[in-house]
Structure 1
């Protein structure tokens, strides 16, 4: 019976969602042949592009609207938004009501689990496909052997990032590297997962392109620097708040390698970084790519309802600056920005709207945004794409924009944090980020100043950075006490549907 359950698990995640829909499409979603000829080495990138497209999808993938909600609400910078009863379990998650039966059985948590683990399974199958190509590469064919190693490494990075995203939400979870081993899977600890991620990155770095993603042969692809940043992030999680941890050496080394490459720079305009001008900028180490091909009608590759989910609700008088109204930046983060005179990141991170259905606010880009019946006056500014940047004829909120994932600002602030924790001076990397936000530089920066800068820089983003920083630095118990946080409530409960499949979880 247990084996049958695992077979059903695979069927749900692979067959029911049509694996070929993703594995046979390239980065811009143009269909390839459904018959794979593994002797055609010129097509060897096909399973890799399928892995990218899968990661950029909803079911499976990283951008389902509910998955975004589950990731971000536990911090103090974002509330559920929308009306109180609309997906109210997100508020229970925010308030750490983990024992609530509604949380344990919440469809959104199970959806998150399935979306991300399905992406892992796709990556595993892509690696199997690459091995089938490898069987047809002659020992003397150095060029294709190099491509094979690079392509495998790109997929392994996506798979590792998926595991990071799963573990950030659920804590101890299985590491799955073989789709045939689901009947013997076991949960690994958070530390074991971070160590595995670091090992995966070490195995991949030497084979990946030595380039920015926007310089790569397949524009926007993962490069060695993407892997170095993920390694640094995993090491920072593993180090926690222990300044003496050897993992801070790993953080410092990995971020130094990125900085010393001299390939990256901060996009000068923080506000426009999140708009079309900032797509695949020199700051980007990884982003999920979407396009409307610059045409007013026809095919458009969208992140599902990812942006619409976060768009301002209410009657917007025919404006495309409109959505479902979820994810509301908190008054707490507004007060934090104002206390720092951090106006650039305030206007970027938060889209303000009218206080009633008949009143409006004009955005920094000149869009008129009306209020709503929920009296919600704040929405996610980094999801906002101005009307004047939309392709004529397109009306989907956020259409043609990418979803930013990993940025050079993270490299700089992790580098500063590692230096400060090790008793070194972190002013230079710290101030590069701070000055970009039009704030005065500081000297002799402290650990708390670095953490505050991270809070400001990554506020209202989609990957749970604020909550993860509070957790790894031991500050969650104090900062989130009024939300109900307590030791033992760090992670969302593993979905009951998954426990029913595997009592070992």
Structure 2
């Protein structure tokens, strides 16, 4: 992870220890006094960097279950069956339990990281009390960066739960005094407003252009999150304005190889506006900063590099998605998005319309990993796959060293195009041009006079398996029938997950 490579290893180890300690019982004890910084010399402004990187570390430290919960309810992906998490499978079928540990984990740990963000901002403000003008300005930039991370977390948790808390400080006792939860619309407006405050203070650069914290957020990350929040509000002119600024900057471009975009060569490409960064620090043993990708991987494979671990089979692309892609004549996006098994291919071919399949649909990936049949699923997610020959020698964990794309320029182009088809105006490029840039990389023919339906379908093809983007599009557009598929029945009442029972017990306002 290049951002963390800027910190010396002793400092990194200290940072990780502090971050883990600081996240303990965040929702039980107030952080107002920044107790974990006791003894810190706030006259030494260089400490602002450590506080900032600590906020990034908290943001990057997703539990394995968190992205899965955010995304499993879409029609692009299914939970793996026969697993040891039956309530996760039930969630995929829109049967929710407020007692499920995953439901509580997402809420509790996201808020722990939000509180960590407030703690870091409060620490930086204490450094600024003793700083020079230049140090105060740098502190303002760091605070703006953390506001962006905080905004993204609030955005995501509100997508999942709807009405939520908006902490304004690290003092969690204040949440006990909340009598009415901010609505989802109020959360999205808050996120948009926070991005407006942050944008003028942030670097005018791509994340990969930053030399201080490579891959850190910039003004364009904030513009992207502003666009996402306003998309949820159906404020399409604001979406067009924010995405139009990103496009008109000329700083971003699509990584030319869609297959490698999600692998080591695509790390921090010119397409990235926000990634979760992970690293083995280019060494086969010792320190690493990692995400657990095993839930996405196949239970059984024969890797090209012997000894590379397989996955758990918890997360598989749906037959609906695969058929949709075949009907469109998709090639590289389908090959990239899905790891196929013989069993899955055979099941697909039981439908006479799909008896003759393209040659790239095989159990052997282009990197010569063989995806064997496994009990929990027919397929696995290719977007969460790192070929075994791209693992650093000595590392065996599935997906080790792989980044996780959160916001890509392709999504910005498609958001811009959708906003224009929804009636907004924009001068950066046309909706046709935006969509066709994405289609060109995928080897798809150009469109003319694109419609809203075509943009939505393009988003399905481009963004499947990524953070539930398909599910939240269907919710936002009220296309609920799309989510009723393969024996599942969706109703609008199933839009949000329930508040976790441990949180209801602690915060009575959640009982309303």
Q: Normalising to structure 1: TM-score of the pair?
A: 0.86
- Are residue 489 (structure 1) and residue 494 (structure 2) matched? yes
Aligned twin of 2:444:
439
Q: Is the 8 A contact 2:27 2:111 kept in 1?
A: no
Indicate which of 366, 369, 372 corresponds to 2:371.
369
Corresponding residue SS for 2:363 = strand
Deviation at 1:319, TM superposition (A): 4.5
- Aligned-residue RMSD, C-alpha: 2.2
Query: 1:381 & 1:490 partners in 2: Cα distance?
Result: 27
Q: Is the 8 A contact 1:97 1:484 kept in 2?
A: no
Deviation at 1:74, TM superposition (A): 0.8
Matching of residues 396-475 of structure 1 within 5 Å: 396-422=397-423, 425-461=430-466, 463-475=467-479
Aligned twin of 1:243:
none
- Are residue 314 (structure 1) and residue 300 (structure 2) matched? yes
Query: 1:108 & 1:503 partners in 2: Cα distance?
Result: 21
Deviation at 1:69, TM superposition (A): 1.9
Deviation at 1:14, TM superposition (A): 6.8
Q: Give structure 2 stretches of 5+ with no counterpart.
A: 1-22, 345-361
Aligned twin of 1:5:
none
Deviation at 1:390, TM superposition (A): 1.2
Q: Is the 8 A contact 1:321 1:369 kept in 2?
A: no
Corresponding residue SS for 1:286 = strand
Query: 2:63 & 2:231 partners in 1: Cα distance?
Result: 27
Corresponding residue SS for 2:368 = coil
Aligned twin of 2:100:
106
Aligned twin of 1:266:
254
Q: Give structure 1 stretches of 5+ with no counterpart.
A: 1-9, 25-33, 58-62, 240-246
Deviation at 1:149, TM superposition (A): 1.0
Aligned twin of 1:227:
222
Q: Is the 8 A contact 1:76 1:330 kept in 2?
A: yes
Q: Is the 8 A contact 1:477 1:487 kept in 2?
A: no
Deviation per CA, 1:245-287, whole angstroms, max 9, x where unpaired? xx21100110111011110000001110000000000000011
Deviation at 1:300, TM superposition (A): 1.4
Corresponding residue SS for 1:445 = coil
Q: Is the 8 A contact 2:481 2:490 kept in 1?
A: yes
Corresponding residue SS for 1:174 = coil
Query: 1:452 & 1:398 partners in 2: Cα distance?
Result: 29
Q: Normalising to structure 2: TM-score of the pair?
A: 0.85
Aligned twin of 1:280:
268
Deviation at 1:36, TM superposition (A): 2.3
Q: Is the 8 A contact 1:321 1:386 kept in 2?
A: no
Corresponding residue SS for 1:45 = helix
Deviation per CA, 1:417-476, whole angstroms, max 9, x where unpaired? 111111765101111011111101100000000000001111112x11010000001102
Aligned twin of 1:189:
183
Indicate which of 33, 45, 48 corresponds to 1:44.
48
Deviation per CA, 1:59-83, whole angstroms, max 9, x where unpaired? xxxx2111122111111011111x4
Query: 1:226 & 1:423 partners in 2: Cα distance?
Result: 21
Corresponding residue SS for 2:273 = strand
Distance 1:477 1:193, change over 3 A: farther
